[in-house]
Each structure stands twice: as C-alpha cells, then as structure tokens.
C-alpha cells in the first residue's frame, strides 16, 4: 500500500470512516513510520482550518510551509523528494476540505477574506436584536452566535450562525442572503424565517414565515424550497431532510414573548399552551368550539396568567391538578 486514497483521507479527517476503512488507515500507518508522521501533519493542518472560525488561505499556506520546513530539517532532501510530492498532494486535499462549503469547512467562505467580521454572542439568558449592514434584522436567542461582515460588498450577503435566530431579511434580488450553519445552508432574496441549528443537537430546523427560502444540507442530504408555513428538518444522524406543515409564527415566539392567534378555536389555543408550558390540557365535552380568538397573547411566567387573560375573550373556567389543566365552559 504505497499511497492513501483521497476519499479515505477525507473521511478520516471528518471522522466518518467505516470499520473497513479504519483498518485500511491503521495498516497504512503501520507500514512505515513516515506514514504515521504524515497523517499527524495532515490532522494538524486540517484542525488549524476547522477550529479557526474564519480562517483564510494565507494562514493555511503558512501552516503548510511551516510543516514542510520541519520535514526538510529532519530528513534528507534527496530521499524525501518522491514523498514530498505525495505530501503536497495530501496538503492540497486538506486545503480543499477546509475551504469547501460541504459542512466540514463551512466556517470559511470567500466573502470573508480580507474583511473585518463582527461576532455577536448571547449567553446571559436574554434575546438581542441585531441590525445587519444591509438593514436586515436578526433576533438572537440565548446560546446563539452570529458572525457577519462589516459590509456586504460581494455578490452575496453571507452570515454564519450557531444557535437559534429569527431573520427579517431586506429584499435584494441582485445579492442573495445566505445563512451558513454547521448542518445546512439557507439561501433567500428577502423574507422572514426562523433558523435553529445547534452543534450539540442532532436536528436542525428552518421555518418559513413569509417569502421563500432554499434549504440545502451540507452533506448531500438534498435541497428543499419552502413555502410559508413549512418547516424543513434535517436529521444529522440519518441525514434525512424532511418538510412539515406548521404554524410558523409560533416558532418565533421566543424573540418577543408574543403568541399570535388568528381565528383560533379552543383546540388550537390549548395545543399551543401545551407546547409552551409543558402541561396537559383536558377539554370538557361541552366546551364551545365555534368561538374563535384573534389577537396576541403575551407569554407569561405561568400558564395560569395566560388562562386568566384568555378568559376575557372566551367564556371558560379552568382547574389545575398537578400538571393537568381541566377546561370547561364558564358558569352562567
């Protein structure tokens, strides 16, 4: 076994080897001591790119030169000439992996080169609003990091997200707006949507409120164009990209604590309360279903406070027993 196949190398660096491929890597490393040293160098270059969020080509080239200088210092140049060419081929493969937008190296993109980046991080349990250079608005939920350039001067408006954010994107048909995350990439011209993609969660979600967005998986899971009221869910374990019909506005309630309803009957309202307050609501068989409610309820600390507000519009009474809430028509 003289050389390591490029596809095996890519899978090794991405941590996606099968058992059979792992054996192949192990055998290659044990053939010669130099093979093990080369693999170590490849990992070093790869992780230099992967963990520096917005690395650039110059830094990768410096890292390659530094490692190659070590080779020359330790080994005879004449003997190492064939391996030097092989090493340069591997270095090129690593650079492609780091610089690609395939999900392995999504932190880098060409629009970020030679441009100052702004990073906003929320860790104190609050929600903050960010105004982007083009006037687009982004609300960041707790535990979220958003990175974007000082100026959208390229052909695309590219930002990176880790966590959950609600976007209101200013329309610009000449300059698409792109959100890159660890799991998926969202492309829009101008629209409103909620995006949730945490690296420590195995499902990433994009929910469209208004307009149209294109959702694409970073690892060939496919592409979906969403219509308002649809949510794309990408399962990072089984790599399935699916679409669900949802009440899209409810996915963004966290940004302002306002729960919107439009001609909602008691069933829709109680299902929503169950979702936000983790309770079980049991409706009396004679509860009126023809009465609807349109408006906005403020999400409060307790479900009791919300039910008290709701009583002003819908004639109901309730009883709370543990985690269960019994709702019946109000007494006349």
Among 52-56, 184-188, 234-238, the least confident range: 52-56
The predicted structure's pLDDT at residue 240: 93
Q: What are the structure tokens assigned to 245, written together?
A: 């019909």
Report pTM. Answer: 0.59
pLDDT tens figures, 90-109? 655 555 555 554 444 444 44
Neighbours of 141 (CB within 10 A): 19
- Mean pLDDT over residues 218-244, rounded? 93
The strand pairing partners of 320, in sequence order, are 325
pLDDT tens figures, 277-291? 889 999 888 887 888
């Amino acid at each position: 076994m003289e050389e390591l196949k490029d596809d095996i190398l890519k899978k090794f660096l991405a941590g996606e080897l099968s058992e059979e491929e792992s054996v192949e890597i192990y055998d290659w490393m044990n053939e010669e001591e130099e093979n093990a040293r080369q693999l170590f160098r490849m990992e070093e270059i790869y992780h230099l790119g992967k963990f520096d969020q917005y690395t650039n080509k110059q830094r990768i080239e410096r890292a390659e030169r530094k490692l190659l200088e070590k080779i020359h210092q330790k080994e005879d140049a004449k003997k190492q000439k064939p391996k030097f060419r092989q090493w340069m081929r591997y270095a090129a493969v690593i650079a492609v992996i780091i610089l690609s937008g395939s999900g392995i190296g999504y932190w880098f993109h060409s629009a970020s080169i030679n441009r100052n980046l702004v990073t906003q991080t929320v860790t104190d349990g609050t929600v903050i609003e960010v105004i982007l250079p083009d006037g687009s608005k982004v609300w960041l939920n707790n535990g979220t990091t958003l990175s974007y350039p000082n100026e959208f001067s390229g052909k695309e408006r590219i930002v990176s997200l880790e966590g959950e954010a609600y976007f209101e994107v200013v329309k610009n048909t000449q300059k698409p707006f792109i959100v890159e995350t660890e799991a998926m990439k969202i492309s829009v011209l101008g629209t409103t949507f909620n995006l949730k993609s945490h690296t420590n969660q195995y499902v990433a979600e994009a929910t469209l409120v208004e307009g149209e967005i294109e959702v694409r998986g970073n690892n060939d899971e496919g592409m979906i164009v969403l219509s308002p009221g649809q949510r794309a869910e990408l399962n990072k374990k089984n790599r399935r990209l699916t679409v669900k019909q949802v009440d899209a506005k409810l996915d963004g309630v966290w940004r302002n604590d306002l729960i919107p309803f439009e001609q909602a009957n008691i069933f829709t309202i109680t299902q929503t309360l169950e979702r936000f307050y983790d309770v079980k609501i049991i409706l009396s068989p004679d509860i009126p279903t023809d009465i609807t409610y349109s408006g906005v309820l403020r999400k409060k600390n307790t479900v009791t406070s919300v039910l008290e507000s709701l009583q002003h519009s819908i004639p109901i009474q309730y009883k709370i027993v543990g985690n269960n809430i019994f709702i019946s028509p109000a007494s006349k």
